[in-house]
Structure 1
Amino acid sequence: MDELDHQLISLLRSNARLSVADLAHKLKVSRGTVTNRLRKLEDTQVIVGYTVRLKPEAEPERIRAWMGVMVEGNTTRQVIASLLGEPGVSTLHDTNGRWDLLAELEASSMSELSSVLERVRLISGIRNTETSIHLATYR
């Protein structure tokens, strides 16, 4: 990837709905260049999809939480596979520090969140977890 690819990705991160014409204008290149770059980034799976981000306030009934996960021994791959199969896990991150993994959880109620936590605790290879409920976002 070169500087133009990085600028293109930056514009898409800000607004993935920008048209090819708008992207070309902002980057000062032709629409064909933008189209070719996008195709290349998608084909090489640098860009793997486009999505919509909602403000947490848009879904006030939705409960979000962060879970730090400590993994036993060499079971990280198995734990990751199990967590990715858990419907309550919306995103999963590999981290350093105290926790091996950081999972973002989503549930429609506290009882559903409790069920997610129960299922996660039963996953073989997890040594310890710590969960914090998301209360507010400031930026």
Structure 2
Amino acid sequence: MDRIDVAIVEILSTDGRASNAQIARHVGVSEGTVRRRLKRMVDEEVVQIKVISDPKGLGRLSQCMVGVTVEPSQVDAVLEEICSREEVTFAACTTGSYDLMLCISVDSPDKLGEFLLTDLGSITGIHRIESYMLLSVGKDSLGQFTS
């Protein structure tokens, strides 16, 4: 990536709806140059173009980070099961105290409790669940949480 590619990505990171013509004017290149470079970056999987929904706009006012300890032989199966749940907006295998870290988004604290106790609690292989309710969000580059 050169300085033009970086400038294109920075503009789209700030305003994902910026047109190629707007980007071209800002960067000082032709619209065709922006179009070709953006296509190349997408094709080469340097960038992804996605819509990021606002959980608050979807009525999901309660967000939570969750650490999960899992039976070592069942990490992959548990992760696959967890990823199938619509309440889970992010899930990853991690190092440290937990085998998995999750981001959960639901419409109320009651629903969060129900999800943690009933849904996650029923998955075979999970030993321990520790949740961290988000009080405020300082930075969210991926748009996963309400602020």
Q: Same fold (TM over 0.5)?
A: yes
1:107-126 equivalences in 2 (<5 Å): 107-117=106-116, 118-126=118-126
The aligned residue for residue 69 of structure 2 is: 70
**Hey, what's the Cα distance between the residues in 2 that align with 1:132 and 1:37?**
41
Could you tell me which amino acid in structure 1 is paired with residue 110 of structure 2?
A: S
Q: CA deviation at 1:95?
A: 3.1
Using structure 1 for the length normalisation, give the TM-score.
0.79
- SS of 2:131's equivalent in the other structure is strand
**Hey, what's the Cα distance between the residues in 2 that align with 1:94 and 1:34?**
36
Could you tell me which amino acid in structure 2 is paired with residue 64 of structure 1?
A: Q
Q: For structure 2, which runs of at least 5 residues remain unmatched after alignment? A: 140-147
- Between the two proteins, what is the percent identity of the paired residues? 25
Q: CA deviation at 1:55?
A: 8.3
The aligned residue for residue 101 of structure 2 is: 102
- SS of 1:98's equivalent in the other structure is coil
The aligned residue for residue 51 of structure 1 is: 51
With over 3 angstroms needed to count, the CA separation of the structure-2 counterparts of 1:96 and 1:24, relative to structure 1, is farther
CA RMSD, 1 decimal: 2.6
**Hey, what's the Cα distance between the residues in 1 that align with 2:136 and 2:59?**
11
With over 3 angstroms needed to count, the CA separation of the structure-2 counterparts of 1:61 and 1:54, relative to structure 1, is closer
The aligned residue for residue 86 of structure 2 is: 87
**Hey, what's the Cα distance between the residues in 2 that align with 1:2 and 1:69?**
40
